[in-house]
Amino acid sequence: MNQSPAPVPAMAEQDHPLDSLPGDLMIWVLIVSELLVFGAGLLAFLGVRIADPVAFAQDQDSLNRVAGAVNTIVLISSGYLAARAVHSPNKMRLWLSGSMVLGLVFLVVKWFEYTAKAELGIGIETSQFFTFYYLLTGFHAMHVVAGLVIFALIMRWPNPRNLEGAAMFWHMVDLVWVLLFPIIYLVR
Amino acid sequence: MKYQTQKIAYWYFLAAMILFAVQVSGGLIAGWIYVQPNFLSELMPFNIIRMLHTNSLVVWLLLGFFGAAYFLIPEEAEREIHSPMIAYLQLIILLVGTLGVVVTYVFNLFHGNWFLGMEGREFIEQPVWVKVGIVVAALMFLYNVTMTVLKGRKTAITNVLLLGLWGLALLFLFAFYNPENLALDKMFWWYIVHLWVEGTWELVMASILAYLMLKMTGVDREIIEKWLYIIVATALFSGILGTGHHYYWIGTPGYWQWIGSIFSSLEVIPFFAMMAFSFVMVWKGKRDHPNKAALLWALGASTVAFFGAGVWGFLHTLHGVNYYTHGTQITAAHGHLAFFGAYVSMNLAIFSYAFPILRGRDPYNQVLNMVSFWLMTGGMAFMTFVLTFAGTVQTHMQRVLGENFMDVQEGLGLFYLMRWGSGAAVVIGALLFIYAQLAPRREVISQGTGEEA
Amino acid sequence: MTQSALTRAFLTLLALSIGTTLLTELRPQAGMGFVALVLLLAGLKARVILMDYLGLRLAPMWQRGFNAFLVVFLLTGLGLYLAG
Ligand code: HEM
Ligand code: HEM
Ligand SMILES: [Fe+2]
């Protein structure tokens, strides 16, 4: 192999914009991807609603708005506790357990909402509204479950870097909910 | 060549190129049958030729990937391949299987036999005994390269490459499950076909691209790895649930229309990122690598992949659009440009890079190679436009006005003739490429004399 | 980020959420003004989460990008609502 071009001192990139992001770059790739998915899903929901706003309003009336509002408060509080866990290394477990308990509360409330719908015979194929309701809230709830699993792993094997990433994931779940809740439960 | 065992790649690439010639020639015959429907109908019916065309495509691309792995892993892991013997044995098994497939198809042997006969599922029609052979070969391959990497240096490039190769091998196992129920059959079939080209193969492509950029532009490995991770993350995030874009009309529940539309739209992102990656690296890197042809193919691959997979994919991926275009010539247009850009071109890029090294020569016949690039890429682009046009007309007449399928086809004759013409350019380009790799002439381009990429 | 800043962010979120709830109670029969307000409150909540929980306050360029995304998203949402 006699093709050895002069090696070039490769680019030193001190002030690359990606480096200014707080935390792990991959978490931000995930956050942006999730925002795009939920954002597209919510806009599609509003787009499909145009064809029949009355049916959408009727279906929406069978949702439990109080449960949704309670869950908003539960999630933002949980997010606060997770953020505290990151900033208080010696009380990390305490804060994180609190955050996890609230995450579980969110899921329990969600569970009651789903079973109440099931008892009325409402499912994902019932109407366009409910297709979106189940897809979006279900997908979000799966992220809550995933977040709790990640937190459990961190409790077992604590590590500041992973904790920071896990908390950012949790904030993303929060972020999605504060956009999802008003659009699905309230806009009419 | 730094490591002796890189030579294994030579034989894989050689076998791949021979099948490449067979594949495009098969396409040309299939294309002619569209023009002259009775051509060869006694000897070899259209469905057999089509099957040869698509299957040899998949096989040679895989041979190319295997070869690429054998070529780049020693350099990345900084050690020889674990066992060259296993590698050659693997190649022999694959070639015997390929031969078995061809003979079975062409003579329609053992029709209906579950073990020896073909199965009639596009891209994975191989008889079961060949499938078993493929799995054995894949296991040998994975064992061989994984051992090499485990004992050597681990880099992001080899990690991603292995992830892609393991993934594609595991997904192939679904080929053994062939349910009677046609909806289920299709559902699992897409686990392979879609999760290959819009998942695991994409990882292989990204990793080869990253390797070529590392070698040819001289940009820091750290920067290249950052791009690679972003590409991989976005590809898997969008591609897995993107499978839903094949579940619109096959009897799967209606919510797939939304899952498929939303996630598959995001599949554009990794393809865009690969294109941006290659151009940014070339622009930033100051190294003036003499292998202009390999660089041209690498840039071409990421660009054409973006258009073929990204743009032409997005064109028909929303379920509202796909309702009309499903299974028309639009699909064929997209299938050709996507496969050509992403996987054919990336293979040809690594061949172009590796061959001079494997044969211990300076880059040679650069001009011929670059001419073949423009012939093939131009031909494919033209074919895509022609088929897109034909598909638009077909969609309108057949799906909107509701005319009969065959009546519509009658009206598309001119398009099919033009498709054949552009196909002929591709075939000439392919033969020229192979000649340029193998012909022993020496011809180093000096500054100013060659055409610039 | 200091703890007091975190706590302030949390209290802001709490206030915004209570605002949304009150608004829902006051105006159950909806309408354009109601929806615009609800979306505005959602956007403010999202902004606090991005800036303080996720720390974008330290990366002004990214903060602008995400804000732009939120504005476009919410305005498109409002537009789609009005079209229906
Ligand atoms: C490297 C180049 C090529 C690639 C990657 C390629 C790939 C493919 C693929 C993936 C399919 C299946 C499409 C589907 O399922 O919708 C296909 C079918 C076909 N290809 Fe190619 N092909 C190539 C070259 C050619 C050439 C040169 C011709 C010549 C005109 C050709 C003609 C055809 C025809 C006629 C079909 C069958 C279409 C049908 O059934 O309607 N291909 N090819
Ligand atoms: C390199 C990547 C890709 C390759 C090689 C590829 C290849 C193909 C092929 C061969 C088919 C036809 C399959 C058949 O029915 O036999 C197909 C179908 C399809 N592809 Fe791709 N594709 C790629 C990426 C994408 C992307 C990124 C999108 C979306 C953005 C996409 C959207 C679609 C859709 C919607 C269909 C179904 C068409 C129909 O309903 O007939 N593809 N693709
Ligand atoms: Fe697909």
Res. B233: pLDDT tops 90: yes
Res. A6: pLDDT tops 90: no
pLDDT single digits (tens) B68-117: 999 999 999 999 999 999 999 999 999 999 999 888 888 877 877 788 87
CA pair distance C9, A100, nearest whole angstrom: 20
pLDDT of residue A43: 98
Nearest-CA distance C49 → chain A (Å): 6
Q: Which residues neighbour B322 within 8 Å (Cβ) at sequence distance 6 or greater?
A: B245, B248, B249, B316
B432: part of which helix (H) or strand (E)? helix B413-438
- The whole-number average pLDDT for the span B246-262 is 96
pLDDT single digits (tens) A152-172: 999 999 999 999 999 999 999
Domain, as residue range, for A44: 26-186
- The whole-number average pLDDT for the span B205-225 is 96
| Whether the CB of B52 sits within 6 Å of ligand 1 | no
pLDDT band at B447 (very low <50, low <70, confident <90, very high): very low
C interface test, pick of A56, A70, A72 with most C CB neighbours within 10 Å = A72
Closest residue to B220, CB basis, from A10, A33, A125: A10
Task: Look at B233-247, B393-407, C27-41, C55-69 and tell me which has the smallest mean pLDDT.
Answer: C27-41
Query: Is the CB of C80 inside 8 Å of chain A's CB atoms?
Result: yes
Query: Is the CB of A54 inside 8 Å of chain B's CB atoms?
Result: no
Chain A environment of B71 (Cβ under 8 Å): none
CA pair distance B169, B131, nearest whole angstrom: 11
Q: What is the DSSP letter of B342?
A: I
For chain C, list the contacting chains (3+ Cβ pairs, <8 Å). A
pLDDT single digits (tens) B10-31: 999 999 999 999 999 999 999 9
Name residue B152's amino acid: G
Q: Which residues neighbour B138 within 8 Å (Cβ) at sequence distance 6 or greater?
A: B169, B172
In a domain, A19, yes or no: no
pLDDT of residue B450: 42
Could you report the predicted ipTM of this complex, rounded to two decimals?
Answer: 0.95
In a domain, A9, yes or no: no
pLDDT of residue A13: 43
pLDDT of residue A8: 44
Percent of the residues in chain B that have a pLDDT greater than 90, as a whole number: 80
pTM: 0.94
pLDDT of residue B121: 81
In a domain, A155, yes or no: yes
pLDDT single digits (tens) B328-380: 999 999 999 999 999 999 999 999 999 999 988 877 778 999 999 999 999 99
The phi and psi torsions of C28 (rounded to 5 degrees) equal -65, -20
Q: What is the DSSP letter of B2?
A: -
Query: Is the CB of B444 inside 8 Å of chain A's CB atoms?
Result: no
Contact A76 C14 (CB under 8 A): yes
pLDDT of residue A2: 43
pLDDT of residue C28: 65
Taking each helix axis from N to C end, the angle separating C32-48 and A160-181, rounded to the nearest 10 degrees, works out to: 180
In a domain, A167, yes or no: yes
Please list the alpha-helical segments (H only) found in B78-127.
84-107
**Among all residues of chain B, which has the CA nearest to that of A5?**
B289
Number of domains in chain A: 1
Inspect the structure and tell me whether chains A and C have 3 or more CB pairs less than 8 Å apart: yes
CA pair distance B212, B298, nearest whole angstrom: 8
In a domain, A14, yes or no: no
Going by C-alpha positions, the residue among B173, B149, B179, B174 that lies closest to residue B161 is B149
- The whole-number average pLDDT for the span A136-141 is 98
CATH of the domain at A110: 1.20.120.80
Count Cβ atoms below 10 Å from residue A119 Cβ, excluding itself: 8
Nearest-CA distance A154 → chain C (Å): 19
Match 């709490």 to its residue by tokens: C14
Inspect the structure and tell me whether chains C and B have 3 or more CB pairs less than 8 Å apart: no
Query: Is the CB of A181 inside 8 Å of chain B's CB atoms?
Result: no
Chain C environment of A46 (Cβ under 8 Å): 77, 80-81, 84
CA pair distance C2, A76, nearest whole angstrom: 18
Res. B451: pLDDT tops 60: no
The phi and psi torsions of A46 (rounded to 5 degrees) equal -65, -30
In a domain, A15, yes or no: no
pLDDT band at C46 (very low <50, low <70, confident <90, very high): very high
Query: Is the CB of A30 inside 8 Å of chain C's CB atoms?
Result: no
pLDDT band at B445 (very low <50, low <70, confident <90, very high): low
**Residue A136 CA, distance from chain mean position:** 11
